[in-house]
Amino acid sequence: MSSGFSRITIKDVAIKAEVSVATVSLVMSGSPKIAAKTRRKVLAAAEELGYVPNEYAASLRKTRRDVYAAIIPDLNNPYYIGIIRGLRDRCTKQGIVLHISETLHDFEVEKAELRFLRGVQTSGYVFIGTVLDDELIETLTNCTVVTVDKVYGYVNQYPQVLINNRHCTHQATAYLISKGCRNIWYITPPARTFGLEDRLEGFKDAIREAGLTDHEDHVCVSYDGQMNMMEAGYIQTNLILASTRPDGIIATSDLYAIGAMRAIRDHGLSIPQDVSVVGFDNSEIGRYYQPTLTTFSLPLARMGEMAFDFLRGDLDNKIGKLVVSADFIVRDSVRR
């Protein structure tokens, strides 16, 4: 590794990563146009060479604009993007630069991103649904940190915005049980975030309370980072249908639920007469899909706004916790 950052240029990073200078520039500016694999390669090259984009940092200092950063696992997930919109809109109104970093749940990518962000003198960080990064957060000094849908190791050290995830999936499961469903399954990616862990526990709580303890393992976890969420839900539901006939499926997101509904139809079953389906996020596709999807409506943009208010010190409880509630919206994908 070089002993001085100034001798390493963007061209050096491009040569090391075997990409164009323009590609490196797009990665460093947080552009979503770059493929995840290329992004990881560029960040790894920058990390190895010890590159800090001094020109970008100097430009931001010259304009005297604050720089905030949002750290999220997945730019393709409408859940995260909904939160980002609220945060971005507030930043835009205040003339603050918002850099969005996608980590794909990869510790090395996140480490490289934070190293870059230090180089541009970032003054505020929002960690949304990230994991395994407590020690990285510990290294951030002279800045403000807020977490969203993430429980930091030292709970009272940073402001938190949380969702009542456990209550939501408990409510959905109990509702299906009240409608006569007994063979209920839960489909999810690996529970790598606090929110996903809580949603899974809510499902299990309701199953136990209904006396269906032999169904606690009715959880299908199958996810490849290269597939989209609808494809994952489709594959998971096909796995379930290959061995049993569920009468209810609860998905950790609307996109998973849409994939599940396609698999159910492909097996010649009807929704909701044969299988009731519940999603999470109240996405636009769920409102227009047929049958319309029962789901939870989350105040995602408001959560982003809360994170901004914490960063600016506009909330009284600067070190505290805000828990937001989600509304259960019953539509046509659940039997009446």
Give the predicted TM-score (pTM) of the model.
0.79
CATH code for position 233:
3.40.50.2300
Expressed as residue numbers, the domain containing 273 is: 165-298
d(CA 130, CA 211): 34
At 271-310, the pLDDT tens digits run 999 999 999 999 999 999 999 999 999 999 999 999 999 9
Assess if residue 131 is contained within a domain: no
Assess if residue 154 is contained within a domain: no
Judge contact between 23 and 41, C-beta under 8 A: no
**What confidence category does residue 226 fall into, taking pLDDT thresholds of 50, 70 and 90?**
low
Assess if residue 90 is contained within a domain: no
% of the chain surpassing 90 pLDDT: 51
CATH code for position 25:
1.10.260.40
Assess if residue 116 is contained within a domain: no
The residue from 51, 68, 86 where one domain ends is 51
pLDDT of residue 6: 47
Judge contact between 32 and 39, C-beta under 8 A: no
Assess if residue 220 is contained within a domain: yes
pLDDT higher than 60, residue 328 = yes
What is the secondary structure of 194-255 as a DSSP string? HHHHHHHHHHHHHHHHTT-GGGTT-EEE---TTS-HHHHHHHHHHHHHTT---SEEEESSHH
Pairing of the two strands 321-324 and 184-188: unpaired
Mean pLDDT across the chain: 86
Assess if residue 272 is contained within a domain: yes
pLDDT of residue 105: 80
> In the chain, how many domains are there?
2
CA-based Rg of the chain, rounded to a whole angstrom? 22
